Amino acid sequence: MMKMGKDEKLKKYRKTSKFKVIDTIPVPHPYCITPKHVVFASHNHCGILGELAITEGEKQGIFCGICKGKLSYKQHETALLVQVDDKRELKDIPGLKKYLMSIKDMCEKDGYAGFAFIQK
């Protein structure tokens, strides 16, 4: 079975006239690769800086350059970025909760941590 790319994965999310999933965003921040990661991958993984090299590097004290080990690689998650075509406070926008609930199960099944918003 062929793996679906991010763009294809996002297209399947329902759109309305006010709400649509437009991208993903790292939460709470992107995992920041440091020079130590590169050296570790070079010495231990034929230069391949993949998930295995990163997680094994963490066992050696090599962590995200932003949070310095407060979160593991696996704790750096991704959320869906939902475009909201309404300038009101999110809590005051009619239909937003209903929209999010309609895509919640798919979001969880796809492994996303939740939602972030951008207002247009």
Q: For residue 88, give both structure tokens.
A: 């009101």
pTM as predicted: 0.81
d(CA 62, CA 15): 41
Q: What is the CA radius of gyration of the chain?
A: 18
d(CA 11, CA 91): 25
pLDDT tens-digit series, residues 87-118: 999 999 999 999 999 999 999 999 999 999 99
Give pLDDT, residue 7: 74
Give pLDDT, residue 1: 53
- With 90 as the cut, is the pLDDT of residue 39 above it? yes
Answer for the pair 79, 24: CB distance below 8 angstroms, yes or no.
yes
pLDDT tens-digit series, residues 64-84: 999 999 999 999 999 999 999
The more confident residue out of 49 and 2 is 49
